[in-house]
Structure 1
Amino acid sequence: MTDTRLPQFISAKAAEYGIPGSAVAVFAGGEESYAFHGPTSVADPRPLGPDTLFHFGSITKTFTATALMRLVADGRVDLDAPVRRYLPDFRLSDEDATDSLTITHLLNHTGGWSDYLPEGGDDSLERFVAGMADLPVEYPPGVHAAYKNAGFAVIGLMLEKLTGKPYAEAMRSLILEPVGLTTAAFMTEELTGHVAMGHAAQADGTLDITTEWLPERYADPSGGLVSTIGDQLRWARFHLSDGGGVLPHELLTLMQKATTEVEGDYFGDGIGLGWFLRKVDSVPTVGHGGSMVGQYSWLLLVPERDFAVVSVGTAGPNGIPYNQDVVRWALETYLGLVERDPEPIPFDQARASELVGVYETATGRAVISARDERLLLGFEVTEQAREVIGKAPDFEPSEFGLLPDADDQYIVLTGPLAGMRGVFSRDSAGAVEAINLAGRSYRRRP
C-alpha cells in the first residue's frame, strides 16, 4: 500500500532542498508504504520506481556485520577474540594495539588508528588490509570511538578467509540469499537494470551528475551495496524480526545493544555491533547512514514499535538534511515521536578562540573560524581523497554553537549539516586536539 501523505511530503521536501530524485519506504502498523520522486538523473527522464537500484553506501556495514554474526552463531568467530586469531598476518604500526585489537573493536569503530586511504594498484581486500601496517595508532583499541571504513575491510577479509569465497560471494550465501534480497549486489559486480545517478549542486544552482561506479573491492564491505528501496526495507524488517532461521534472535538483539557510549556524536548515544543507537523522545532507535558521491541515505529502526524507515536522495550536499527531515517526519507522523534539537549557548569569545583552527584526516579537513560573534564550520575534501573517490563537494562554512551543560559539545545551526552534533576533545593538558564531525575524528593541525 502507499500512504498518500508520504509522496506528498517527499515531493515538497525534495523541492525545498533541490533533490532531483528520492525513494522512501516505511514499515508501520504492519504495513509497507513506498514513495518515489523524480527522474533517474537530470539527463535521464525515466522515473525512479520499485525496480531502481540505489547506492546505499555505508548502510553496507550493517550487512557485513550481520554476515559476521552468522559465523558467530556457527561458533567460527568469537567477538572478544583478537583479530590475529583469524588473520595471523594482520599488523598495525603499534604491536600492543595489534595484539589487543578484537572483533568487537572493528564492529564498534574503536580500533584507534588514523584515517586511511589506499594508494593505487591492486584493489584487493588483502592488499588494503596489509597497508594498515603503516597507519599511526592514535588511541589504544577500545578507548575512543571514531568512524572508520577500514575496520569493515578487515571484517570483509575475515569473511573471505573463513568461507573460502570472494567477499561478494560470501555475502550472497551468508546473508543476501537467506534473507531474500534478490536485487542486492556490490559495486564490483556488473550492474544490470535501472540505476539511479547521483548529483552535486553547483554554486549557480545547477546539478552535475557525479555518481561513478568505481569497482574497488576493498570498499565493498564498508560501502559497496547497491539495491532497490524494497530490498532495503526487507533488510530493515529482518532486523526487526526473530531472525527467520537465518540468525538467532539473541544475536540480532545483541547487535542492537551498546558496546560503547559516545557523547555529542552525529550518530547517536552509543554504538552496537554495526549499528548506531540513539533515543528519540526517550525511545531507543537503531540506525545507520550512507554517503556516496551524490547519493545519501538513512535507515532507522524503532524495534519496540516494530517500525522502520529508509530514505535515499540523489543529490549532495543537501541529501543529508533531506534524509534527516524525512526520518523525523516519519517518526512524528507514524509514532508521535519528536526529535528536538538542543539550543546552543550565546557566543563566547574566549571559548571560540580555543576552537579556531584546521582539523584534518587523510580524507578531509574541518576549518573552524569565528566571525561577527558567530562560530563557523567549513569542510574541505583533501586532494588525496579526490584522487580516490572522484567528485565530492566541499561544504561552505555553516554556523554552529556550543551546547549548555555539555563539555565542548556543539550543534550545527545552518547549511547542509544543520542539526548535526559533535564534540571537541582535549589532550591531557586541556588543549583542544580534535573535533568529532559526522562520527569521524579530525585532529588539529599545528
Structure 2
Amino acid sequence: MNNNALHTVEAQIREQAAAYCESNNVPGFVAGVYHAGEQIVVAHGTANVATGAPMREDTGFLFGSVTKVLTTTLVLQQVERGLLDLDTPVVKYLPEFALTEPGAADKILVRHLLSHTNGIDADLFVPDAKGRDALKSYVTALASSCGSLFEPGEQLSYSNGGMIVAGRLLEAVTGMSYPELLKRDVYAPIGMKDSSTSAEQAILRSTAVGHFLDPETMAAKPAGMFMLPDTWGPAGATPIGTVADLLACGRTHLAGGVSPAGTRVLSAASTALMQQVAHDMATPNVPPMGLGWVLYPFGDTTVLAMSGASPGGVSILCVLPEHDLVFTAFGNESGAIMLQDQILQWLLSEHLGVQVPPVVTEVQQDVDLTPYVGTYRSDQLRIDVSIVDGQLEERATYELADESQERIFSEFVGGMTSAPPQRYVPIRPGLFAPAGYPLETFNGYMRLLLVSYHDVRDGQARFRNGGGRLSRRA
C-alpha cells in the first residue's frame, strides 16, 4: 500500500478528532490504524484536564472490555496446552463455581463463558476486593448473590461475569494470578511493552484519566475513580496500555496468531475459532458473537470488534481480516464512542471502498406494542415498559444491592444512577429505535442503541435486549 493513502487517513482522523472533541467537550483522543504493512497514530487534546497533560501518541489508557479479547486468547492458549477443554463444564475445573439457583452453574461450559451465552446474571455485580484473591472472592460471592437469566447456550447476553469466571478458571488451572498470566502469555509475546494491570504501574508513565461532563456547565471534569476494582480485571477493569500495544494485538489476530515480532501467541486454528460465529440472535442490534470478538457485519465485510468503557473513558479495537486493517482508539469522555464510530465508518466506506448498506431501511407503522409491555429485570436493573402516545416508553431504575455496589456504580458512571424515560418507535415487531434519531445513526457501531424483544409466548415477550444485554420479564 502506498504511504500516501495512510497520510490521507492520518489527516482525516486528525481533522475529525479536532472537530468532534471541540464541539462535544471531549478533552482528548488517540487513535491508530494499521493497514497492509504501514501504521499511523494520531493524538489530540488533553489526557487530564486537571493537570493539562497533553494526550500523546504513547499515552496509556484503560482498555476496558477490549480486555475480553485478551482473556479469550489466554483461555484458548490453555486449551491448546491441554489444561482446559471448551466443552467441559466449568465446575470440573472450578468446583466452587455456583449461582443462587441450585445446579444452574453445573450446565455452563467453558465455551459459554467466552461466547456470552452463559446466562450468568451478574452484569452490574462488582464486589470490592483487591490483590491476589480478588477473582476468587468474586466467584465465591456469585454463589450467594447472582442467579441465571437463561439456560446456557439458549440466548446471548453480553457477560462481564462470564469473562471474570474465565479469569478465575485460568488462575485455577495455571496456578498463576490473572495479571501475571496476562503479562507472561499476552503482553510479552505480542510485544505490548507499555501495557500493565495496575494504577501503580501506570503512574510510572504518561496515562490518561477519564472525564465526565458537568451537567451545569457541560465542561469536562476528571472522573473521581481511575479504575474499577480488581474483581473485574479479566472483564476489563485493570489492563492499561497504548494504541501501539493494541495495534500489535490486533495485528496478531490478523496474522493467524503470530505477533508482529514473529512470536506465535495462538494457533491459527484458535485464532480462526475466535472469529467464527458462536451464537447469532438474528437481530441487527445484537451482532453475531464469536469467542471474545463481536462480529459486526458491514455489508459483506466483517469487523471483529470490542469496545471498552472505563470510568469516563471509552476504547475500541477493530480488526478487518478481509482488508488487513486494524483500527484502535481511546477517548477520555464517553461521548467519544460516536467519534470512534464515525472514523470506523469513514475507514470502511472512503478508505477501503466498502459498500455499507443501511442497517434499518424501513419502519413499520402498525406494530402491536402489547407483547412488550411489562417489567424486565437483570442484575440490579429494572426496566418498566409501557405504551405512551402510541410509542413504547422505557424507564430504567438501578436497584443497587448495597452501599458498596452503589458507590462503585455511581463513581463508574459519574454520579447518575437513574436514567430519564426513553421513548422507542417500532421498526418491526420485536425491534425498536430510540425516538428522534435519524435511521442512519444505527448503520455503524451505534446499532447497539436499538432495542429488541425475544421469545414471545402467549402474547408476551420473555426477554428484552438493550446494548447486547438481556433482561428477563419479571
Give the TM-score normalised by structure 2: 0.85
CA distance in 2: counterparts of 1:42 and 1:383, whole angstroms: 31
The answer to whether the aligner puts 1:48 opposite 2:58 as a matched pair is no
Distance change >3 Å, CA 378–CA 99, structure 1 → 2: closer
Residue 9 of structure 1: aligned partner: 16
Matching of residues 11-90 of structure 1 within 5 Å: 11-90=18-97
Q: Is this contact kept in 2: 1:344–1:401, CA < 8 A?
A: no
CA distance in 2: counterparts of 1:67 and 1:89, whole angstroms: 21
CA distance in 2: counterparts of 1:229 and 1:367, whole angstroms: 40
Q: Is this contact kept in 1: 2:121–2:148, CA < 8 A?
A: yes
Greater mean deviation of Cα atoms: 132-141 or 373-382:
373-382
| Structure 2 counterpart of 1:256, from 261, 265, 275 | 275
What displacement does 1:140 show?
Answer: 1.4
Q: Is this contact kept in 2: 1:183–1:228, CA < 8 A?
A: yes
Instruction: Kindly provide the amino acid, as one letter, of the partner of residue 274 in structure 1.
Output: G
Q: Is this contact kept in 2: 1:53–1:196, CA < 8 A?
A: yes
| Structure 1 counterpart of 2:223, from 199, 206, 210 | 210
Distance change >3 Å, CA 144–CA 94, structure 1 → 2: same
| Structure 2 counterpart of 1:173, from 172, 179, 184 | 184
Between the two proteins, the alignment pairs up a number of residues equal to 440
What displacement does 1:119 show?
Answer: 4.4
Give the TM-score normalised by structure 1: 0.90
Residue 410 of structure 1: aligned partner: 432
Matching of residues 275-286 of structure 1 within 5 Å: 275-286=293-304
| Structure 1 counterpart of 2:324, from 306, 316, 323 | 306
The answer to whether the aligner puts 1:142 opposite 2:153 as a matched pair is yes
What displacement does 1:267 show?
Answer: 4.6
Give 3-state SS (helix, strand or coil) of 1:400's partner. Answer: strand
Give 3-state SS (helix, strand or coil) of 1:185's partner. Answer: coil
CA distance in 1: counterparts of 2:369 and 2:224, whole angstroms: 38
Matching of residues 422-441 of structure 1 within 5 Å: 422-426=451-455, 428-441=457-470
The answer to whether the aligner puts 1:334 opposite 2:351 as a matched pair is yes
Distance change >3 Å, CA 133–CA 120, structure 1 → 2: same
What displacement does 1:358 show?
Answer: 4.8
CA distance in 2: counterparts of 1:133 and 1:273, whole angstroms: 25
Deviation track 1:340-368 (CA, whole Å, cap 9, x = no partner) reads 241452555x7345435553333444454
CA RMSD of aligned residues (A): 2.6
CA distance in 2: counterparts of 1:143 and 1:278, whole angstroms: 21
Distance change >3 Å, CA 5–CA 118, structure 1 → 2: closer
What displacement does 1:330 show?
Answer: 1.9
Matching of residues 220-369 of structure 1 within 5 Å: 220-223=233-236, 224-244=238-258, 245-264=264-283, 266-268=285-287, 270-316=288-334, 318-337=335-354, 338=356, 340-343=358-361, 345=363, 348=366, 351-366=368-383, 368=385
Give 3-state SS (helix, strand or coil) of 1:9's partner. Answer: helix
CA distance in 2: counterparts of 1:119 and 1:10, whole angstroms: 36
Deviation track 1:194-245 (CA, whole Å, cap 9, x = no partner) reads 1212112233322232151246221110012211111111111111013222
Q: Is this contact kept in 1: 2:128–2:229, CA < 8 A?
A: no
CA distance in 2: counterparts of 1:145 and 1:40, whole angstroms: 36
Unaligned runs of 5+ in 1: none
CA distance in 1: counterparts of 2:256 and 2:406, whole angstroms: 42
What displacement does 1:95 show?
Answer: 4.4
What displacement does 1:49 show?
Answer: 1.0
CA distance in 2: counterparts of 1:371 and 1:95, whole angstroms: 40
Residue 261 of structure 2: aligned partner: none
Instruction: Kindly provide the amino acid, as one letter, of the partner of residue 126 in structure 1.
Output: K
Deviation track 1:91-149 (CA, whole Å, cap 9, x = no partner) reads 23344433321110100111123225144567711111122223222321111111111
Q: Which has the higher strand share?
A: 1
Distance change >3 Å, CA 346–CA 257, structure 1 → 2: closer
Residue 210 of structure 2: aligned partner: 198
Residue 3 of structure 2: aligned partner: none
Give 3-state SS (helix, strand or coil) of 1:264's partner. Answer: coil
CA distance in 1: counterparts of 2:197 and 2:365, whole angstroms: 46
Instruction: Kindly provide the amino acid, as one letter, of the partner of residue 23 in structure 1.
Output: V
Identical aligned residues as a percent: 25
